[in-house]
């Protein structure tokens, strides 16, 4: 008891009022419940960063992903668009919000001891209905393209990036191009409609068929995306299997991968630092790889600066990387592989 009294009464980690109260209880012979430091911090009230995610019209967006960069935390918005993070201390934090069909937004927020609130408004982008990729009896890549009313669309330009293969849909909306087995990103374009990107893996001995639906464009074509796709085409044309790898949505889903960090570790051959960054949609926007779940990804380009050392030889489908194994890593360490991620829109 004397040791406990001396330890608590002399502790400088406790506030003056709390220290006095505990000492008074001990003098009366009452043994208080000793709380762990994190419990005391919660009891004293950790700052809370809360907010709401809406579209430009002010309508709440459910299931948007909100990430707190400095703490490497993610949360999904509730039905009213709200989210909430407890932070360890007051300070400046970066909050990112994204949702399929909307442009990503980032905001710097100052959190005081009493907390902070933030409103994040996402701008809707031109989008298409989800495409469907199925097995085809003959090799190569074929497909049928329709509009949102399920009417066949002739005259849609089909370009298989990284190859010389291209085609145009016929009067029934169909096309065929004899691509070799591999991982591809396919670009679909037609004047007045939003550009659509579909990833596809063509395996040995069989083909793939795409069924895609295009939406009328809500705005003029983004010249930056066009330039980024041109540069991607050049990269893939020059790619060498010894230092470049590509992953389609099908590849990641079949492997049971849920995080970009897992994909990056496959490409690098070693456990990737979660603070490493990826270029989104060809740039200039970047994000740390822990922020991006596989469900938001259409295609990944991975380029290593030298042949990787095989430290991570395999990942069991569905296995999540243990964040504790990356404790102590700093941004920039363990980031030999450059990642370019093309998101679903």
**Residue ranges per domain, the chain?**
2-42, 48-122, 129-222, 244-343
Q: Rounded CA gap, 100 and 309, in Å?
A: 35
Determine the CATH number of domain 129-222: 2.60.40.1120
Q: Rounded CA gap, 286 and 278, in Å?
A: 6
- For 178, phi then psi, to 5°, come to -85, 65
pTM: 0.68
According to DSSP, the residues that pair with 116 across neighbouring strands are: 49
Closest residue by Cα to residue 292 from 314, 272, 269, 315: 272
According to DSSP, the residues that pair with 210 across neighbouring strands are: 133, 143
Quick check: do 129-222 and 244-343 share a fold? no
- Tell which CATH classification among 2.170.130, 1.10.3470, 3.10.20, 1.20.950 matches the domain 244-343: 2.170.130
The domain defined by 48-122 folds into Immunoglobulin-like (2.60.40)
Over its length of 345 residues, how does the chain's per-residue pLDDT go in tens digits? 455 445 545 554 445 544 555 455 445 454 444 433 433 334 457 899 999 999 998 999 998 999 998 888 989 999 999 999 999 999 999 999 988 778 788 899 999 999 999 999 998 765 556 677 887 778 899 999 998 888 999 999 999 999 999 999 999 999 999 999 999 999 999 999 989 999 999 999 889 999 998 888 877 777 888 999 999 999 999 998 888 999 999 999 999 988 898 999 888 888 888 889 999 999 888 888 988 888 889 999 999 865 444 444 443 433 333 333 333 334 445 688 899 999 987
């Amino acid at each position: 008891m004397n040791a406990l009294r001396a330890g608590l009464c002399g502790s400088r980690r406790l506030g003056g009022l709390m220290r006095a109260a505990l000492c008074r209880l001990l003098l009366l012979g009452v043994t208080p419940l000793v709380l762990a430091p994190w419990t005391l911090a919660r009891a004293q009230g950790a700052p809370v960063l809360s907010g709401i995610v809406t579209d430009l019209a002010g309508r709440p967006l459910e299931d948007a992903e909100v990430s707190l960069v400095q703490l490497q935390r993610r949360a999904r918005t509730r039905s009213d668009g709200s989210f909430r993070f407890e932070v360890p201390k007051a300070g400046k934090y970066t909050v990112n919000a994204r949702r399929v069909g909307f442009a990503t937004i980032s905001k710097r927020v100052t959190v005081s001891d009493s907390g902070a609130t933030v409103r994040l408004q996402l701008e809707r982008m031109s989008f298409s209905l989800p495409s469907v990729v199925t097995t085809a009896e003959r090799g190569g890549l074929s497909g049928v393209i329709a509009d949102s009313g399920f009417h066949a669309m002739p005259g849609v330009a089909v370009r298989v990036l990284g190859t010389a293969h291209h085609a145009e849909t016929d009067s029934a909306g169909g096309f065929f191009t004899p691509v070799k087995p591999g991982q591809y990103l396919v670009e679909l374009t037609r004047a007045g409609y939003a550009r659509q990107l579909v990833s596809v893996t063509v395996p040995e001995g069989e083909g793939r068929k795409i069924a895609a639906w295009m939406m009328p464009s809500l705005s003029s074509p983004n010249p930056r995306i066009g330039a980024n796709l041109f540069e991607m085409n050049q990269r893939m044309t020059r790619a060498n299997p010894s230092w470049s790898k590509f992953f389609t949505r099908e590849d990641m889903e079949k492997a049971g991968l849920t995080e970009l960090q897992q994909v990056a570790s496959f490409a690098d051959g070693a456990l990737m630092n979660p603070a490493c960054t990826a270029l989104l949609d060809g740039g200039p926007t970047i994000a740390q790889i822990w922020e991006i779940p596989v469900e938001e990804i259409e295609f990944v380009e991975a380029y290593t600066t030298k042949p990787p050392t095989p430290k991570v030889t395999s990942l069991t489908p569905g296995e999540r990387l243990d964040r504790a194994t990356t404790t102590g890593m700093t941004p920039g360490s363990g980031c030999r592989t450059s990642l370019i991620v093309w998101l679903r829109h």
